Amino acid sequence: MTGRTIVVTGASDGIGKIAARTLAGRGADVLIVGRSPEKTAAAASEIGGRSFVADFASFDDVRRVAEEISNSVDHIDVLLNNAGGTFDPKNRTAEGHEPNVQINHLSPFLLTHLLLDRLGGSAGSRIVNTSSVGNLGGRIDLQDIAFDASSPAEFRAYCTSKLMNIGFTYGATARWADRNITSVAVHPGAVRSNFGHDNVLFRLIYRTPLKYAMSISAESGAEPLVALAADRSDAEISGIYYSRNSARGRVNGQIDKPGIVDGLWTESEKLVGLA
């Protein structure tokens, strides 16, 4: 992968850090994006990559880091949108939105748009969106995609944001194929990490022996991210939702209903200030 430039968000720890380290070890120029300045700098130093700091709970932070990245590289071969997690819906973002939707969907959506000038072209680019099997429990309300007028349960908000990741992948495939950009989404598996540390249900699972029966290591979880980032196959894989290494991930049927993908795209553009 020598000579290839890869941006990995959510790369200060967990599967993002492991994926970044693996890709850097194969010769890629890796740009690491994380929320914590200390952890992100330490990860970049360990991996040999470049560090960029942004809190995805703030669109201003996303705009700033997009400008910093654009000023640092001429072309991005792979954008790995991995930042995210599960968050208490009561802790609204700087813009007042539900945090699962903003951090997991809206901010990656905005970042990708702001980096479009560095994606595609004759060299081509790949967008990899980290989603989840949790998409099956989501439901998108096009009248209120960011739960601005409602108070969802944390699990429902998280699952909905993961369904949005797939919708974003479908929308990007339809809109950016002529830019020589392929887009895929992937469920990396139920990974043992700090994921879900704020959620009572997740804590019950991840802090007991059930953690080992129901989850995989971070190293294993990073494998499909690395595989998709390293893959150079043609556009035929664009728009596919992978469940780890299988191209037959189960997708919530709502995303295939008429108007959902386009409606999600339009409403997302409005909320992030692109329309």
* Residue 261 phi, psi dihedral angles, 5° rounding: -65, -50
Q: How far is 244 from 221, CA to CA, in rounded Å?
A: 8
**Residue whose token pair is 């959620």:** 199
DSSP count for the chain of H helices, then E strands: 10, 7
What's CA 271's distance to the chain center, in Å?
Answer: 18
Under DSSP, the state recorded for 53 is E
The answer to whether the beta carbons of residues 206 and 192 sit under 8 Å apart is yes
Q: How far is 125 from 128, CA to CA, in rounded Å?
A: 10
Q: How far is 174 from 90, CA to CA, in rounded Å?
A: 34
DSSP states along 197-265? TT-HHHHHHHTSTHHHHS-B-HHHHHHHHHHHHH----GGGTT-EEETTBS-----GGGGSTTHHHHHH
DSSP states along 82-108? -------TTS--TTS--HHHIIIIIHH
Q: How far is 229 from 252, CA to CA, in rounded Å?
A: 24
Catalytic hit among 158, 170, 206, 241: 158
Q: Is 170 a catalytic residue?
A: no
Residues marked active site are found at 158
